[in-house]
Amino acid sequence: MKVLFVSLGCDKNTVDSEKILKRFVDKYDFGIALTEDDADVVIINTCSFILDAKTESINHIKHFVNLKRKKIIKKVFVLGCLVTENEKTHEYDDIFKDVDAFLPTGKYIDGLSVYNDRVSDILSFSSSIKVSDGCDKYCSYCIIPYLRGRYKSAKPYSVIFEAKKLAKSGVKELSIVSQDTLHYGFDLKDEKFRVKDRPIVDLVDAISKISGIEWIRLLYCYPEEVDDKVVNLIKNNKKVLPYIDMPIQHINDNILKMMNRHTTRADIVEKIKKLRSEIPDIVIRTTLMVGFPGEGEKEFRELLDFVKDAEFDKLGVFCYSRERLSKSYEYGGQVSEDIKKKRKKAILDVQKKIVEKKNKDRIGIVYNSIVEGRDTTKKDTYIVRPYFNARDIDDKVYVKSKELLLSGSFVNALITKTKGYDLVGEIV
C-alpha cells in the first residue's frame, strides 16, 4: 500500500504535512507514492485562509473522490483548516460525505512537538521550521485564530532539536515560519530564552550555531514586532540573511484600524526606514490586501502611491476574501470583485516596473547562491537562488554550466541580464 500526500497552502502547512506523513507511514507501514497513479491512499492537508485556498482544497477533494469512485484509489483522507472550519460552519458537509476520514491537524499530531519526525528530513537541502501555531492578533479579516487557536510557541529545546536533525539530514537553508514569527516566546513561562526579553532573537542565535545550517531566513514578521533587537539580529548575525518578509496589508490608517492591525502608517514607514538605513542590502518582501470593506478610491490611491514610493523588493497582493468566521464579514462597504481585481492589477503593474529597475541594478554583481537544481527545459542550465530570493515564493536566477552542479551546493553567480521577473547569470 502506498500513500500520496497532497499539501496545500503555506509552508507552515507543509511542515505539518511532513510530520503527519512520517507518522502515517511509520504507523501503518505504508510506502510513499509520488503520483496519484501510484497511490492507494490519498491524504489532503487543506487550507481555507481565503476563498481561493478553499476552492483549491475543494477541487482536490472532488478530484480524488472521483478517482476513488472509479476504483483508481482506495481511500481519501482530509485534514487541516478546511476540516476545522467545517466543524464550525458545516458549509462543506456535502463535500466531505464521500471522504473516508477527516481530522483537524491538531487532533492528529502536535505540530510543535519534538517527537514528530518529518519525511523531508532526508529529502531536501532547504526547509522550514515552525516555531509556533495559532495567532493572537485577531485581524478582522482573518480566521486563523478560529481555526488554529491562540498563539502557542514551541519549546525552545524542541525547535533546536528539530533544527539539528534537519541540519544532520543535509538542510543548509532554514526558514523560520509561524503565523507571527517575531512574537515567538512571549507566551512561554520560566524559559531561559526570555533572558533578553526577545525570545525570537535568542532562538535564532541558537539555531545559527548549529553546524551545517548556513542560511536562516525570517518570514511572517509583523511590522509592530520589528524592533532594534530584531534589526541587530539581521544586521550582525552572518547566517541570518538580510531578507525579511513583513506583510503590512495596507497603509491607510483608517483601513489598518478597521483591519485590527496593531500598527499605523507612521510606524510602517519608520520600520522600513530603519531596516534600510541599518542594513543597506536588506530585501523587504511584503503582502498587501485590496478591496477591504470601506476601501474607497481615496484609500486605494494612498496605497498605490505608497507602493510607488516604498519600492518594495518583493510584493504580493491579495483580494479581500469575505470569510464567514471573520469579524469583517459583517462590515458594510463591501467592495465588488471587479473593483478588487482592477486594484490588484494596478498595484502589480506598478510593482513590475519597480522589480525591473531593481533587477537591472543587480547586473554585474556576483552573489553567493544556493543551487536548486537543473532547469529541465534547457540544456546545461541550472536554477540558483541568491539571498534575495526565498524558496518557492520569489523569482529565479538561471545559470549555464557544463559542469555538474549539485543541489544544495553554493556557487558564485554573476548576474548578466534580466528575463522578466527572473535573472540570468553565469558561474564565476
Interval 235-282: pLDDT, tens: 999 999 999 999 999 999 999 999 999 999 999 999 999 999 999 999
At the top level of CATH, the class of 2-107 is alpha beta
Interval 292-334: pLDDT, tens: 999 999 999 999 999 999 999 999 999 999 999 999 999 999 9
Q: Percentage of residues in the chain with pLDDT exceeding 70?
A: 93
Q: Among 5-9, 150-154, 307-311, 392-396, which stretch is predicted with the lowest mean pLDDT?
A: 5-9
Q: What is the CATH number of domain 366-427?
A: 2.40.50.140
- Residues 66-92 have a mean pLDDT of 91
Separation CA 129–CA 132 (nearest Å):
9
119-361, CATH topology level = pyruvate-formate lyase- activating enzyme (3.80.30)
Separation CA 348–CA 322 (nearest Å):
22
Residue 58 has pLDDT above 90, yes or no: yes
- Residues 113-133 have a mean pLDDT of 71
Query: How many CB atoms within 10 Å of residue 426?
Result: 14
Residue spans of the domains in the chain: they are 2-107, 119-361, 366-427
C-alpha cell at 88: 464550525
Query: How many CB atoms within 10 Å of residue 144?
Result: 21
- What is the separation of C-alpha 275 from the centre of its chain, rounded to a whole number of angstroms? 21
**Mean predicted lDDT score pLDDT of the chain:** 91
Separation CA 204–CA 194 (nearest Å):
13
- Residues 149-169 have a mean pLDDT of 92
Question: Which one, of 202, 186, 251, lies nearest residue 223 by Cα?
Answer: 251
C-alpha cell at 207: 539555531
Instruction: Return the residue matching grid coordinates 534580466.
Output: 418
Interval 136-155: pLDDT, tens: 999 999 999 998 899 999 99
Check residues 52 and 351 and name the one with the higher pLDDT.
351
Instruction: Return the residue matching grid coordinates 522600513.
Output: 272
Q: What is the dihedral of CA 363, 368, 369, 375, to 10 degrees?
A: 50
Separation CA 92–CA 96 (nearest Å):
6
Question: Which one, of 287, 23, 46, 7, lies nearest residue 128 by Cα?
Answer: 7
Q: What is the pLDDT of residue 22?
A: 79
Phi, psi of 412 (to 5 degrees): -95, 120
Q: What is the pLDDT of residue 193?
A: 56
Q: What is the pLDDT of residue 114?
A: 46
